[in-house]
Structure 1
Amino acid sequence: MMTNLFSSFDPSTNLMISLNWLSTILGMILIPSMFWLIPSRWNFMWIKITSTLHKEFKVLISNNSIKGMTLIFISLFSIIMFNNFLGLFPYIFTSSSHMVMTLSLALPLWLSFMIYGWTNNTIHMFAHLVPMGTPPILMPFMVCIESISNIIRPGTLAVRLAANMIAGHLLLTLLGNTGPMMSMMMINILIITQLLLLMLESAVSIIQSYVFAVLSTLYSSEVN
């Protein structure tokens, strides 16, 4: 029985170093193998996913963007999705449920967009603070609102990903802890419910990584 409901999200181990964070690089160990092995179904499927993402991100990014910029967001999608999926396996730490990781992905991206936009397209960035058709009396308020909404973007990206990962895992943990107190029939229902929730969490893992990458793409398109 767990002493704390959130203990499954605790990265500390019995050793002096936290080995749980090593789960973050497991995806990097698995991905490169397909570059020198005979092409398999997994290889073809991954190429299809990346090419589809490339076409979609290319539409979202403006035509003035740097060539190959979609590779940044495809890589971002890949690392988040791998970490989300690895967290669904037993005894593997969910690194994407910690703000340390999610904020370290969102904050540098947002900062780089802001620095690039304000240094190269200053007038364009000022124009974004006041939407078209805003009455003159409301312009000071719109500048404040738009500035605040722009500043909290990395926080919302990080919190959205971490909260969605924590919510599903907590629900699975809460239902799993009620198993020893149930009858045989209720345990069968619980197992079916847990399997359905696991399928839902698998979908959430893909959706949240896609949402993170798409929102980052949209934020980058605003600075051009």
Structure 2
Amino acid sequence: MTQLFNFPLDVDFAGTYLQANGVEGPGNKMLSGISDRLEIINGAARTTLYGTDRQTNYGYRTEIQLGTFPNSGECWSSVDFMIDPSWTTNNFSGLGSWYPTPDPGEELTVKHVNIGLRLVNRDTLFVNVPAAVLPAVSSTGKTVAIAKIQQGRWHNVTIRVNLQTTAVGWREVYLDRVKIFGEYNVPTAYEDATGPSFKMGPRTLVQDYDKVRMWVRNARQWTGNESFSTVMREAPVSPSRMLRQ
């Protein structure tokens, strides 16, 4: 087991890659972030997307790209997030994803994220995976889990995936230590040289809002057979709060 990355996001954006309002670049060169979009406030990263913002990399996004995984084997990500009370749309928004890393020459190929977190109605979290059976390339996804969250409250989401291009892979998502999704004996990776990168922050398809804002902290990533107590600090709990699996 190896910890790949640890981004507390409590002081600066060192080691990350930032995208917002038509601006992008390494966090090492923008330690304090991007003005009024990506900022460290009270020991956490505040991410804000305005309805007047420019596109960044073909989308409306204010995202923090964290580390990149290898493309085979057991991988974990864990992060705390909060939907700010000022979030002003009930429509679809991305919150975070494992984005495929394109091979050279594939930069314009649209691949659905390996696993994605989506928000609707400010309080409903969706987990999406590719609609096609991997490693087939598809730009569409399907919803595999739904759970309720609360604006103004910190939540933890932990993603655990065995990245494989054959039917020996598996993928799990835990919300506040409750497993809301688990799928086994399935391929979970594209045939890419490099594995997916972990990104957090709001991303929308249309600008139907004044402002969407969320907070992020304690982003960590591992490879190998890590323990739940290390990743989530405690063991998983009963899925009694799960709406659908």
Between structures 1 and 2, the one with greater helix share: 1
TM-score (norm 2): 0.26
Greater CA radius of gyration, 1 or 2? 1
TM-score by length of 1: 0.27
